[in-house]
Amino acid sequence: APESLMQALEDLDYLAALDNDGNLSEFGIIMSEFPLDPQLSKSILASCEFGCVHEMLTIAAMLTAPNCFLHTPPGTEEIALTRWRKFSHPAGDHFTLINVFNAFKDVSANQYYSNEKWCRDYFLSCNALRMAEIIRVELVEIMKRLELPISEPDFGTKENTLSIKKSLLSGYFMHIARDVDGSGNYLMLTHRQVAQLHPLSSYCNTRRVPEWVLFHEFSVSEGNSIRVVSEISPELFVELVPQYYFSNLPPSESKDILQELIRRSAPVSATKDEEK
């Protein structure tokens, strides 16, 4: 449809993938080397700047492969949730996916324990995780061909967690939602639609409802849910959001809160500029 084509072009523009004539920018050409959604490609390139490429490639592979969490047979839901809780990361679902992938890699390296059995025990799809492994290898090859840096693994440190969130925000600043009433009703900043967390979110498993989140995708077919969600701070969002995109957001209470954060931080940065 013409509307969705226009939306796609607008998104590419916000991601700095187009030049003033509407052609792919140099940055856009590099993004197009990755067989991924533009947002994910942008996040990987941002991770070169923030020094968390190793982790971002794992996230990209896990998001591109099929969902690794299996539909559980009736009567086993509670067991599955308990098993999955082992992988839950307090920073969000993107980080939980890294935990799952790393655990699968550890088991695959153990010659005494079959990874098929391990996947069955943890209600995970072995095929999906093998696919993620293959995708990640392909992404590493693309990075090497483009002569882009690949950081050493640093997962688990506070600095690394912040760097991953910055990288994700660089690509997914259009996928932000806020819990407007404290009960899990998330209003998306861009489309003003209300959504709930997907039942497979680790936040549902740990019974914690963050106020501001970045989400991978919005699914109407699954009861207006946002899938693969990680908590972000509004301060980090205003630090990384392109001003051009922010000014075009529809009016909302959330936008007012963010606008106030920008206003409060502006004099500080202006003072810093004067001191230079």
Contact 97, 58 (CB under 8 A): yes
Token duo for residue 64: 């591109």
pTM across the whole model: 0.93
> What is the model's pLDDT at position 268?
53
> What is the model's pLDDT at position 276?
43
Question: How many Cα atoms occupy the beta-carbon half-sphere of 213 within 13 Å?
Answer: 36
**Rounded Cα–Cα distance for residues 180 and 188 (Å):** 10
Contact 163, 50 (CB under 8 A): yes
E strand spans, the chain: 176-179, 186-188, 194-197, 212-219, 225-231
> What is the model's pLDDT at position 269?
44
Q: What is the mean pLDDT of each run of 10 residues along the chain (276 residues)?
A: 85 95 95 97 98 98 97 90 94 98 93 88 97 98 97 95 98 96 91 89 85 94 91 96 93 94 73 46
> What is the model's pLDDT at position 38?
96
**Who contacts 169 (Cβ-Cβ below 8 Å, separation ≥6)?**
214, 232, 236, 237, 240, 241
Q: What is the DSSP letter of 30?
A: H
> What is the model's pLDDT at position 274?
44
**Who contacts 98 (Cβ-Cβ below 8 Å, separation ≥6)?**
55, 58, 59, 62, 89, 155
Q: Of 239, 266, 234, nearest to 253 (Cα)?
A: 234
Beta carbons within 10 angstroms of residue 147's beta carbon: 6
> What is the model's pLDDT at position 99?
98
Token duo for residue 268: 């500080």
Contact 258, 237 (CB under 8 A): yes
Residues in the chain: 276
Contact 245, 14 (CB under 8 A): yes
**Rounded Cα–Cα distance for residues 224 and 266 (Å):** 36
Question: How many Cα atoms occupy the beta-carbon half-sphere of 143 within 13 Å?
Answer: 22
**Rounded Cα–Cα distance for residues 226 and 201 (Å):** 9
Token duo for residue 168: 């994700």
Q: Of 208, 257, 268, nearest to 235 (Cα)?
A: 257
> What is the model's pLDDT at position 271?
46
